[in-house]
Structures are given as structure tokens and as C-alpha cells.
């Protein structure tokens, strides 16, 4: 059995823990797939490289409203795909080659699983061990359990971005982040898109106002079919794919649609199970995540196991790259400073959905805040500020955007922020900052300049619209 000082399983955020402090350690990085993990190869980065041109095309289509007549002559999918992956594949290849070039690092290109505490076995039967092991092996696509998902032309986010040609039409199954982003990509680039979702609600974790506004916009941009559960996919006589579904309400009503391509976007599951965690007595949560404490130490029987760490999608309910990266920074420190353990601050985790229009959110939804207030004898104040009511919104003739804020009306603490509209993923950042550093609503609104007439004035006005200390007439 080969011994190392440290084994890292997974080359996504796990790869980033190796700082200068690790130069004298004998390290193994285990990565059976493309080096760099999900975000780089099949996730955040390539999706956004498709989202951007799709948004450009969408804006061109919408420009006549502003007095600019534009026409989209052509969308070069193969050229776009090759441009995107020329950049990404080179980063993955260079990342692998760099790690392989280091004297103290061994890259093992196989899957591993536990056979005993601190002992992992590769697919080819080699056993490796280390006193410190970082489990950063992410999550995988969840496939609906229906016939036909293995047919050619049925894709997931892992494969759809490498399609040889842009599909004329596509059925996207699911109502979460991935479905929302790919519906925008394909619709923006000119495919005919049908979105099929089991429930009547899109983006289920989001604030009701935002989810409803998004569903309204989605229905204007593509064919939105809500309340249908997929029952199977078949090869149609013309060689295309027929998706079949039945009504989710049990009425027995049936639905079908034929398209060139089907994209399954029905969630991701953590890869804790594939590590065989029972062989090392590791705790797994009901959601299938490796259980960790606040220092990212993996738990066994509720107690931290010395030298065993986890980070990212394999242990995080958030399934977000910035969370995986933050946890990687904590693990990077803790592995080499066990006497000075750091923790990860998960209080205000923002996220954005890069669809059209963009959506961004941090903190409690209004519904969660109302429940929290009822349980804690608190009172909340809510402000919905339309983008269309600030100067830059006039310039855009905006009819969609909202910045919705929720605060504790006694303390002025911002509890939640939810935006839909142009640049929402950037507009939310000053609010994340204010929340993270304990600023009260009035301090955020009046303790800084807001550039006029930037779109950020929508955030300023939303803050000023909250009924909180410092902003009431008797506080003046
Ligand atoms: C289409 C898509 C778009 C996304 N967009 C965004 C976004 O815009 N913003 C955002 O914040 N997040 C986004 N995410 C989520 C984000 O990609 C993940 O949260 C993040 O990449 C998780 O990082 P990780 O290091 O935990 O895992 P990963 O990056 O998945 O790395 C885990 C690695 O472990 C390897 N592995 C798995 N099992 C084993 C094993 N048994 N042995 C050895 N190696 C193993 C895998 O091959 C993989 O490379 C997106 C995800 C997808 C799928
Ligand atoms: N911009 C971002 O930050 C970003 C982008 C993409 C993905 N992600 C991350 O990746 C994760 C996975 O994304 P996702 O969109 O696949 O998951 P999700 O959990 O957001 O949505 C899954 C959807 O699939 C539906 N579904 C599940 N099983 C189904 C079935 N059998 N039939 C029909 N519908 C079914 C669910 O109802 C839900 O609407 C997200 O949790 C997110 O954190 C983030």
C-alpha cells in the first residue's frame, strides 16, 4: 500500500488547497475525469460562456423597443462551442500538467473508495493511505428513473454544451438553476425551447415574488409546461425524440412533445455514497451529504475524525462554487494548522441564476422571514422596488426588474435580498457585503455614495423604502 502525507480526492475546489505551505508534503490528488472539476469543465464557466452570447442575442431582439432595429443573421454554434472549449480544455490540460510536473504531487486518474479508515482503493485495485485526507469529490447529475434516458440525443449538463450542432428544438426537463440557464441559452440562440416541470413552481427555493415573476417571463420567452411528470423518452419515427409525461395532479392527463434534443436538468446528488463511507464509519446526512463540523472535519458517530476533511458539493447543501472555494480556503488552513482551526461562515450565502432576466438572492425569503418573525416575536418590513422606477431603468425601459428587500423593522438588520432583472448578480453584492459586515439598512443606504444614475440606485431606493430605525420621521 502506497502512503502519502495527504490525499485529496477531487480536483475541483480540492485542487486549490495546495499553497506554498504544502511544498514539503507528499501529496496525491485523485481525479478520474477532466482536471479542474465541475465548475471549470461542465458547470459555471462554460454555461456562462453560452449565457452571455444568448443574452446579447436576446437584447438585440428586444432592441426595437428602444428604437434600434437589429436582426440576428446567424448563430455559429460550432464556432462558439470551439471557442469556449478551446479556452476551457486548455486550462484543464495545463492544470493537470502543472500538478504532474511537481515533485511532491502524484496525480491518480481513477475513482477511489474507502476500504477501511484512512485507506482508499482505486478502481484498478491499488490501495493508498494518508494520515490526512481531503474529500472534495463533488456531486453528480441526478437522472429521473424513467425509460429512454440512455437514448442518443438525451443529454445532461455534462454533455449538452458539446453538441455538434445547435438543436432546432429542445425539451428541457426540470425547474431549477440548470434548467433556467439552459432554457435561456437555447432560446436566446434561436432554438425552439419547451420547459417541462413536475411542479407548478419554478426555482422552488426562491422568494415567491421572484419565482412568480420569473415564471411569467419564462412563459413569454419559451413554451413553459408546468405540472407534468416525465414518464419516458422514445425514439420517434422520424428519428427524433418524443418526451412523454403525465399530469402531476394524478388526473391521468397525458402530454407529449417531439424534439431534436432532450436535456435532463433534474438536480444533482452528492458523491458521498460512491466513496463507500460505511467502510470508514463516516456519518452521512439524510440528504446524502458527508457530515462535517464547522471546521470541515468529517464526522464519525457525531465526532470529528482526526485528519479527515470534506469540502464542496460532497458535504454542502448549497452546491455552489463560491461555497466550495470558501470551504477549500478553510481546509487549506486547517490541514496545516490543526492547533488553530478556522471555520466557514455560511450565514449569508448568495446565489445567482444566470437566466434571462438574471436572478440573485441572499438570506431569507419573505415567507421564511415571516415564519422566523412569528417564532421570535419580531416584526419585518418588506420593500419591492421596481427597476423601472429609477433613472437607469427609464433608460432601459425596464418592465421586469424588482429589488425586494426584507428587514427586521426593530433593529434594521437586513434579513433577505431578492432581485430579478438586468445585472442582478452584481447588484446584490453590496447587500451581501452589508449583511456580512453587520451594517444596518440605514447605514447601507446613507453611509455611502451611490453613483447617479447607475442601476445600483434601485438598491439604494429599496433600502430607503424599508421601515427601519434611522429612516422613520421620529428618528430624524
Ligand atoms: C451546469 C452547472 C452550472 C453551474 N453553475 C454554477 C454557477 O454559476 N455558480 C456557482 O456557484 N455554482 C455553479 N454550479 C455548481 C458548481 O459547479 C459546484 O458547486 C462546484 O463545482 C462544486 O465543486 P466541488 O469541488 O465540490 O466539486 P467538483 O468540482 O465536482 O469536483 C469533484 C471532482 O471529484 C471527482 N470525483 C468524483 N468522485 C470521485 C471519486 N470517487 N474518486 C476520485 N475523484 C472523484 C470528479 O471527477 C470531480 O472532478 C454549476 C453546476 C453545474 C452542473
Ligand atoms: N448559477 C448557479 O449558481 C448554478 C447554476 C447551475 C447549477 N447550480 C447548482 O447546481 C445544482 C443542481 O442544479 P439543478 O437545476 O439540476 O437542480 P435544482 O435542485 O435547482 O432543480 C432540480 C429540478 O428538477 C426537478 N426534478 C427533480 N426530479 C424530477 C423528476 N423525476 N421529474 C421532473 N422533474 C424533476 C425539481 O423539481 C427541480 O425543479 C443546484 O442546486 C445549484 O446549486 C448553480
- The per-residue pLDDT for 83 is 98
Ligand 2, atom 42, lies closest to the CA of 319
Q: Return the percentage of the chain with pLDDT > 70, whole number.
A: 100
* Order of strands, sheet of 303-310, starting from the edge strand that comes earlier in the sequence: 105-108, 27-30, 6-9, 132-135, 303-310, 297-300
* 475: confidence class by pLDDT, cuts 50, 70, 90: confident
Tell whether residue 48 is among the known ligand binding residues.
Answer: yes
The yes-or-no verdict on residue 332 having pLDDT over 70 is: yes
Q: Is 1 helix (H, G, I), strand (E, B) or coil?
A: coil
Determine if residue 177 is labeled as part of a ligand binding site. yes
Has residue 476 got a pLDDT over 80?
no
Ligand 2 shell residues, CB under 6 Å: 144, 173-179, 181, 197-199, 229-230, 265-268, 319-320, 351-354
Residue 207 has pLDDT above 80, yes or no: yes
Ligand nearest to C-alpha 266: 2
* Tens-place pLDDT, residues 16-26: 999 999 999 99
Atom index in ligand 2 nearest the CA of residue 266 equals 24
Indicate left, alpha or beta for 38 from its phi (over 0: left) and psi (-120 to 50: alpha). alpha
Nearest residue by C-alpha to atom 39 in ligand 2:
175
Residue owning the nearest CA to atom 2 of ligand 1: 43
Q: What angle do CA 397, 399, 405 make, to 5 degrees?
A: 115
Q: pLDDT tens digits, residue range 77-132?
A: 999 999 999 999 999 999 999 999 999 999 999 999 999 999 999 999 999 999 99
Ligand nearest the Cα atom of residue 313: 1
Domains of the chain in start order, with CATH, are 2-140+269-336 (3.50.50.60), 154-266 (3.50.50.60), 357-468 (3.30.390.30)
Query: Among positive and negative, which fits the CA dihedral 315, 321, 322, 325?
Result: positive
Active-site residue, 337 included: no
What is the ipTM for the molecules in this complex? 0.97
Site of grid cell 413554451: 223
pLDDT recorded at residue 473: 82
Closest CA to 351 of 180, 237, 236: 180
Identify whether the C-beta of residue 149 lies closer than 8 Å to the C-beta of residue 324. Answer: no
- Ligand 2 atom 20 nearest Cα: 176
Overall average pLDDT of the 435-449 stretch: 98
Residue in this structure with the C-alpha cell 448568495, named with its chain if needed? 350
Return the best residue to mutate from 319, 352, 359, 432 for the ligand 2 pocket (most ligand atoms within 8 A of CB): 319
Q: What value does the mean pLDDT take over residues 256-274? A: 98
Nearest in space to 184 (alpha carbons), one of 67, 90, 279, 50: 50
* Nearest ligand 1 atom to alpha carbon 111: 42
Q: Which three cell numbers stand for residue 279?
A: 467502510
Q: What pLDDT band is residue 472 in, cutting at 50, 70 and 90?
A: confident
234 has binding-site annotation: no
Taking the centre of ligand 1 as the mean of its atom positions, its distance from the CA of residue 133, in whole angstroms, is 18
| 238 pLDDT more than 80 | yes
Marked catalytic residue, from 200, 337, 346, 452: 452
386-413 pLDDT tens trace: 999 999 999 999 999 999 999 999 999 9
* Tally of CB atoms within 10 A around 305: 18
Going from the Cα of 343 to the center of ligand 1, the distance in angstroms, rounded, reads 21
179 assigned to a ligand binding site: yes
Provide the grid cell at 9.
480526492
Strands 297-300 and 303-310: antiparallel
Enter the pTM of the model.
0.97
* Contact criterion met (CB below 8 Å) for 93 and 82: no
Does ligand 1 come within 6 angstroms of the Cβ of 282? no
Is 321 assigned to a binding site?
A: no
Residue whose CA is closest, atom 21 of ligand 2? 176
Cell of 387: 427597476
Q: What is the pLDDT of residues 34-62, one digit of tens each?
A: 999 999 999 999 999 999 999 999 999 99
Average pLDDT over residues 316-336: 98
Q: Is the CB of 267 under 6 A from ligand 1?
A: no
163 pLDDT exceeds 80? Answer: yes
Q: Whose CA is nearest to atom 6 of ligand 1?
A: 44
Amino acid at each position: 500500500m502506497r502512503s502519502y502525507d495527504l490525499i485529496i480526492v477531487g480536483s475541483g475546489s480540492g485542487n486549490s488547497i495546495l499553497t506554498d505551505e504544502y511544498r514539503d508534503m507528499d501529496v496525491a490528488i485523485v481525479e478520474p475525469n477532466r482536471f479542474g472539476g465541475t465548475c471549470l469543465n461542465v458547470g459555471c464557466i462554460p454555461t456562462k460562456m453560452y449565457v452571455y452570447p444568448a443574452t446579447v442575442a436576446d437584447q438585440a431582439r428586444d432592441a426595437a423597443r428602444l428604437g434600434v432595429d437589429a436582426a440576428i443573421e446567424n448563430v455559429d454554434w460550432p464556432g462558439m462551442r470551439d471557442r469556449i472549449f478551446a479556452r476551457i480544455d486548455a486550462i484543464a490540460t495545463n492544470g493537470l500538467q502543472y500538478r504532474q510536473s511537481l515533485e511532491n504531487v502524484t496525480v491518480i486518474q481513477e475513482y477511489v473508495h474507502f476500504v477501511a479508515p484512512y485507506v482508499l482503493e482505486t478502481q484498478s485495485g491499488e490501495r493508498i493511505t494518508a494520515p490526512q485526507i481531503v474529500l472534495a469529490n463533488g456531486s453528480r447529475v441526478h437522472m429521473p428513473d424513467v425509460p429512454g434516458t440512455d437514448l442518443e440525443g438525451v443529454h445532461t449538463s455534462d454533455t449538452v454544451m458539446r453538441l455538434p450542432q445547435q438543436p432546432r428544438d429542445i425539451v428541457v426537463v426540470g425547474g431549477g438553476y440548470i434548467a433556467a440557464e439552459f432554457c435561456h441559452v437555447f432560446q436566446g440562440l434561436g432554438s425552439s425551447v419547451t420547459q417541462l416541470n413536475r411542479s407548478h413552481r419554478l426555482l422552488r427555493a426562491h422568494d415567491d415574488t421572484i419565482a412568480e415573476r420569473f415564471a411569467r417571463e419564462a412563459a413569454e420567452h419559451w413554451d413553459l409546461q408546468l405540472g407534468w411528470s416525465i414518464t419516458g423518452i422514445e425514439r420517434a419515427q422520424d428519428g427524433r425524440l418524443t418526451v412523454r409525461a403525465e399530469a402531476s395532479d394524478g388526473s391521468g392527463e397525458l402530454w407529449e412533445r417531439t424534439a431534436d434534443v432532450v436535456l435532463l436538468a433534474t438536480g444533482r446528488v452528492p458523491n458521498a455514497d460512491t466513496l463507500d463511507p460505511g467502510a470508514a464509519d463516516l456519518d452521512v446526512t439524510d440528504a446524502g451529504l458527508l457530515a462535517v463540523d464547522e471546521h470541515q472535519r468529517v464526522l464519525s458517530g457525531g465526532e470529528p475524525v482526526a485528519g479527515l476533511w470534506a469540502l464542496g458539493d460532497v458535504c454542502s447543501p448549497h452546491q455552489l462554487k463560491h461555497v466550495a472555494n470558501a470551504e477549500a480556503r478553510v481546509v487549506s488552513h486547517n490541514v496545516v494548522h490543526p492547533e488553530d482551526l478556522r471555520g466557514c461562515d455560511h450565514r449569508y450565502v448568495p446565489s445567482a441564476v444566470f437566466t434571462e432576466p438574471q436572478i440573485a438572492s441572499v438570506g431569507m425569503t419573505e415567507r421564511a422571514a415571516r415564519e422566523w418573525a412569528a417564532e421570535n416575536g419580531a416584526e419585518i418590513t418588506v420593500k419591492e422596488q421596481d427597476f423601472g422606477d429609477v433613472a437607469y431603468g427609464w433608460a432601459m425601459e425596464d418592465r421586469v426588474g424588482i429589488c425586494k428587500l426584507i428587514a427586521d423593522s426593530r433593529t434594521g438588520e437586513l434579513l433577505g435580498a431578492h432581485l430579478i432583472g438586468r445585472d442582478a448578480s452584481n447588484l446584490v453584492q453590496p447587500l451581501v457585503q452589508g449583511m456580512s459586515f453587520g451594517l444596518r439598512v440605514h447605514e447601507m443606504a446613507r453611509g455611502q455614495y451611490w453613483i447617479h444614475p447607475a442601476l445600483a440606485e434601485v438598491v439604494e431606493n429599496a433600502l430607503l423604502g424599508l421601515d427601519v430605525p434611522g429612516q422613520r420621521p421620529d428618528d430624524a
